Amino acid sequence: MRATIVGVGPLLETIRDETGMSTTVAGLLTTLPVICFGVLAGVAPRLARRFGIDLMIWLTMAGLTIGILVRLASPVILLFIGTLVIGASIALANVLVPAVIKRDFPQRTGLMTGVYTMCMVAGGSLASGLMVPIHERSRLDWRETLALLGVPALVAVVVLIPRLRLNSRSRESAESRAVAAPRLWRSGLAWQVSLFMGLQSFIYFGMGSWIPTLLIDEGLSDARAGLMWSLCNLAGLPFSFIVPVLAQRVRDQRPLVVGAVAVWAVSIAGLLVAPADYTLLWMVCFGVAGGSSLSLALMFIVLRSPDAAHAAVLSGMAQAIGYTLAAFAPFLFGALHDLTGGWEASSAMIGLVLVPTLWSGWFAGQRRLVVPLPESPASRPRSR
C-alpha cells in the first residue's frame, strides 16, 4: 500500500516539470493520502462492525486498484482525484490490519506485525528505487509508470476473494458493541499512542516525500537520488521485522523508542549539515529509524489493547489523530523551501519534531492497557 504513495516521490520533479505545478501544489500529491488517513480512520471501525473486517479489507484493495487506474488518466485533476481514492482505500485498510492481527494471531502479534510492516517497507523501497529507472529506460510516461503500482493491488483483490466466505460480521459486531469509543478518547495512554503514530508519520512523510528532490538539488542525478531513497527503505526492512518481535518479548518498549529517535536524529542532522557527503549513511539511518518507528507505532496499538475490538477502535483513533497531524508535513516541508529557497529550515523543523516524538513514545512504551482487562467470571468473588 505504501508503494502507491512513496513511488510518487522520485517522479515528483518530472511531474512538476510536465504539469507546471509549484513545489507546494506538487506536495499535495503526497499530502492528500495522509489527509485521508486522518479523516477516514475513525470511520473504519464502524464500517467493520456493519460489514465485517474481511469484506472491508477486500473493498479497500479494490478501491486502491480503481484509484491507481483513475490516476492514469490525462487531465491533471484526475491525478488528484485518483490520489484521493488511493488515500481513502489505504486509510481504511491501515486501521483494520492491526485488529486482524490481534484477532487472528493473538500469540504472534509481534511476528505478524513485523511481517506486515516489512511488506509495507519493502513495497516502498521497490517503488522508490524502480520508478525512475523504469520511466527513463522504457517508453512509459510518468502516469503509466505509476500505474504499474496497481499490479500488486489487483493481485490482492484476487487472492482475498476466498476470505469473503469467512467474513465474520456477526462476531465482530457483538464484540465491538462492548467497546466505548468515547472512553478511549479520554485515555491519556490512547493519546500518547496516537501522538507517537502521528509524529513518526510526520517525520517520515514530511522529509521522506522531498528527500529525492533535496538530493537532486544537492547535485545527485534523478536516478541516483531515487536509488538513495530506495536504499533508505531497504535499510529499514530488517528492523521493521525485528523491532516488533522484540517489542512483544520485552516488558518495556521505551529503550526501543529511544534508539529509534536517536538514529533518526543522526540522519536528520547529517542531511541538514552535509546532505551531499556520506549520503548513503544518512539514508541508511533514516530508513532504520523509519522502519523501527512505524513498527513500534503499530505494535503499541496491538499491545495497549485488551482485545481485537479495542484494537480496531484504538487504531482508528491513533490513525485519525496521527495522520491528521502528519498530513501537514509534506506541505509544510515544501512551503518552507519555497519561502527560504533552501532545505535547511525544512530539515530543522523535522529535527524539532523529534522532541515530542520521544516524549509520546516514552509513555506509550510503558506496559499498560488503554482499558483494564475484563474480569473473568471465575475470578469474581462469589456472593454468599
Least confident of 215-224, 263-272, 343-352: 215-224
What pLDDT is recorded for position 170? Answer: 42
Would you say residue 4 has pLDDT above 50?
yes
Q: Residue ranges of the domains in the chain?
A: 3-167+181-369
pLDDT bucket at 374, cuts 50 / 70 / 90 = low
Q: How many CB atoms lie within 10 A of CB 130?
A: 19
Q: Which residues of 304-316 are buried (b: 16+ CB within 10 A; e: fewer)?
A: bbbbbbbbbbbbb
Cell of 353: 519534531
Convert the pLDDT of each residue in 33-73 to its tens digit: 877 877 888 888 888 878 888 889 999 999 999 998 888 87
What pTM, to 2 d.p., does this model score?
0.79
Phi, psi angles (nearest 5°) of residue 383: -80, 145
pLDDT > 90? residue 352:
yes
C-alpha torsion angle, residues 4, 236, 365, 89 (rounded to 10): 10
Burial of 40 (0-12, 13-18, 19+ CB in 10 A): buried
The mean pLDDT value for 143-167 works out to 83
Instruction: Please report where in the chains the cell 478511549 appears, as a residue.
Output: 184
| 282 vs 99, higher pLDDT | 282
pLDDT reported for residue 63: 93
Mean pLDDT rounded to a whole number for the chain: 83
pLDDT interval class at 378 (50, 70, 90)? very low
Cα separation, 114 vs 213, whole angstroms: 30
- Report the CATH architecture of 3-167+181-369: Up-down Bundle (1.20)
pLDDT at 372 over 80: no
Rounded mean pLDDT, 265-289? 91
* pLDDT digit string, tens, across residues 157-203: 998 888 777 665 444 444 444 555 667 778 889 999 999 998 998 99
pLDDT at 11: 79
> CB atoms < 10 A from the CB of 117, how many?
27
Supply the pLDDT for residue 377: 46
Q: Which of 9-18, 50-59, 113-122, 316-325 has the lowest mean pLDDT?
A: 9-18
How much of the chain exceeds pLDDT 90, in percent?
26
Helix/strand/coil (H/E/C) assignment for every residue in the chain: CCHHHHCCHHHHHHHHHHHCCCHHHHHHHHHHHHHHHHHHHHHHHHHHHHHCHHHHHHHHHHHHHHHHHHHCCCCHHHHHHHHHHHHHHHHHHHHHHHHHHHHHCCCCHHHHHHHHHHHHHHHHHHHHHHHHHHHHHCCCCHHHHHHCCHHHHHHHHHHCHHHHHHCCHHHHHHHHCCCCHHHHHCCHHHHHHHHHHHHHHHHHHHHHCCHHHHHHHCCCCHHHHHHHHHHHHHHHHHHHHHHHHHHHHCCCCHHHHHHHHHHHHHHHHHHHHCCCCCHHHHHHHHHHHHHHHHHHHHHHHHHCCCCHHHHHHHHHHHHHHHHHHHCHHHHHHHHHHHHHCCCHHHHHHHHHHHHHHHHHHHHHCCCCCCCCCCCCHHHCCCCC
Cell of 19: 504539469
Separation of alpha carbons 242 and 288, rounded Å:
11
- Give the number of other CB atoms < 10 A from CB of residue 98: 28
How confident is the model at residue 297, as a pLDDT? Answer: 94
Cell for 144? 503509466
Q: What is the model's pLDDT at position 263?
A: 96
Hey, what's the cell of 164? Answer: 469473503
Radius of gyration of the chain (CA): 21
Per-residue pLDDT tens over the stretch 228-262 = 877 887 888 899 999 999 998 998 999 999 999 99
Cell of 223: 536516478
Structure confidence at residue 254 (pLDDT): 95
